[in-house]
Each structure stands twice: as structure tokens, then as C-alpha cells.
Structure 1
Amino acid sequence: MKLLKISILRQSTFKNKKYNLFKIKTNRDFNPLVIGTKIRRNLIKETKGTKITQASLFVLNKKSKEKLYHSLNEFTNIEEISEKTNEIIKNLERLKIKLVNKNLKKKIICITLTKENSFFKEIYKTIKISNLNQKICTIKSHNVEIKLLLKIEKEKGIKFNPIETINFIIPKKNNENNSSLFLETIRNDQTFTELYQSLKLIYNQQI
């Protein structure tokens, strides 16, 4: 049985959450409870995303005569930086990254952080960061600079699903020629891509 029509009845934003209400119709008789359950299971599956798989951190003290970057490891603590090295790495892992080029599987980028700029404020040509407000670290001194060498890979490591909540509502009465159900979702991302792809998959598959 293939779904015939998926329409958006409502979409809104509240406290950085995206709310959508869909109506799903088919021209054949089916058990709305069964199909609603299958749709819900499909949408709450975790999907592989893009993440930072390797991070190298280097620090520069501008007052030093050497003017060289020194490597940081997870046990290194710098007085002029509030966070420990392992906390900085955890903040990097919270970044929601996408590779703009679909054919690109990995990318290595170099970022410089200072006291004035401790966020990712740039959108690069090859990557897109959806949560630019994610703070990486707090640098207390103008004399300290951090260099990040990041390896970004697609479909590796942790999984991410932007859908936090999903419910389906079955009308009390359905038409003889077609049946329908309502689907409501709450997402924590700023794009519609993942949800659209999931619904498209449901539309094309036999369920």
C-alpha cells in the first residue's frame, strides 16, 4: 500500500523547537493504527550524520619569545582558558555540521579562536554549521590564541535524529474512498531536510 498524499497543515516555532502538523491520505482502506505506528517507528530511527572525528588543539602565547603553537592534550590545563581541554572537545562534538557537497565524505579545516572570537561565526564554502551559537571555550586573555585542526567526516561515529517528539491522531470517521491520519512532530533543528527525507521514504515504500 502506497501513501498518496502528505500535506502540511501547520508549522510553527516555539523556544527554538519546530512544530509540524501533517495530514496523510491514501485511497485504499487500511488500519490507521498500524500505519501510524510504522510511520512513527520510521521517523524516530536514529540517522547517521556528519561529525568531527578528530580534533587537534594548539595554543599560542603571544607574549612568548618563541611565538610557536604548542600542542594540547586532554590533560593540559591553561590558566587563561576557563575550560579544560576535554571540555573543549565535548563542545566541538556538540556542533551540528553538514558537508555542503554531497559527494564529499570528509574535510579538514583549521580554525583560530581568540578572546574576541570564541564561537564559530563563519559559514565555510564546504561546510555548514547550524548551531553557530554553540560556545567552544572562554579565553580570558588577549595574549592567548587557540588553533583547531578538525577532521570532519560524513556518516561516521555518533548518530543524530532531529525529531524529539512524534504523535499520530486517527480521525473518528474516514471516507469510504480514502482514509487519513494526522501526524504531529517536534524537531530541535533549524532545517526541514531530515524530516522531509524520512517522509519521502515512507511515501515511496510499501507499508
Structure 2
Amino acid sequence: MVKLTSHFNKKLHVVFLSICLLILATFTLSIGIVLLALLNIQNPIYLLLFISINFALSFIILPYVIANHLYKFRVFKLEKVLFYKIFSIISILLILVLILDLYLNVVYYFLVVSIAEEYLFREIIFKILQKEFPILYVYIIGSILFAFVLHINEPLLINLIIRFPSALFLNFLRSKFNLFTCITTHWIYNLIVVEFI
């Protein structure tokens, strides 16, 4: 009985930690959005830089630091190759936005959102849940958090029929391929939705 309770507590702990990291990320992002409104930044480049820093701090840096601190060892490492790929793409897009000042600001914004959300869900939360759950449960729990907690302000039906299956698919991609594949897929999906829907 004690072993079952201990095992259940470990499972509950990783789910609770995942929810707390998600709440912290969205709360920090909201504070950044309020600060952005108060600063009234008009320059599009400064605006995109502020948004990039806000997402990076909220969805990548804070959850990364907390997860590593709680586990007392480095479970989560930033892949250098992935970091350089992402940094290169962001830099090129930011330069193009500066030069062309066209639709690329939307493209850039959705890249930042995709990187932030995918790193939090398909890297940090995925690995936390993977410590205690079989992969199918990791898919389901992570997808529930993505569809119904992160997007809590969106219509329930849309979350159920679009975001939940999309999150399941992204979790599958994460386990079969890598984080970069998830980021790219999420980014392209967001661009298609904005363009055609």
C-alpha cells in the first residue's frame, strides 16, 4: 500500500509541477504584455524584440531554471545545434522585417510563439511527464495541458476538436523525431490558420 501511494504521489507531483510551470509561464507572459502596453512601444523592431524576450523568459528560461532546480540535476539541456538553427532563423527574419517591413512581422511573431510553446510543452513538460508516465499518458496529459489550460480562453469545442488532436500529433512528432520538427510544424500550422482561416 505504501509503495502504491508513493508511486501515485510521484505521478501526481509531475502533473502538478507541469501545471505550475504552465501557470507561471502564462502569468509571466501576461505581466510582460501589461508592461508592453504601459511602455507603448511604437517601433515594430523594438516591439518584436520585446515580445521575443517576453516569450523566451516566460516559456523557456523560467521553466527551464525551475525544472532543473527541482530535480537537482540537468535533465534538460539546450541542444546547441537546435539553438543555432533557431537563432539563425530568428536573426534572418528580424533583419528581413527591418528591411522589408511586410508580412514578415507576422511570420516572425508566429515563429517566436511556436518556439516558446514547443520548448515548454514538447521539451520541458514532455520530459517531466516522461519520468513517471508511459508515453501514451505523456501524450494525453501534455495535450490536455496544451489544449485546455494554455488555451483556456478559447472556445472549448475548438480546443477539443483542433488543439487537442494537434497537441497529440506534436507529441508524437516529438517522440519520433525532435523538437525542431515540432517547432517547424507548429509554426507552419499557425501561418496557414492565419492566412486561410
Q: Which TM-score band applies after superposition, normalised by the shorter structure?
A: under 0.3
Report the TM-score when normalising by structure 1: 0.23
Higher relative contact order, chain-length normalized (CA < 8 Å, sep 6+): 1
The structure number with the bigger radius of gyration is: 1
By percentage of residues, which structure has more strand? 1
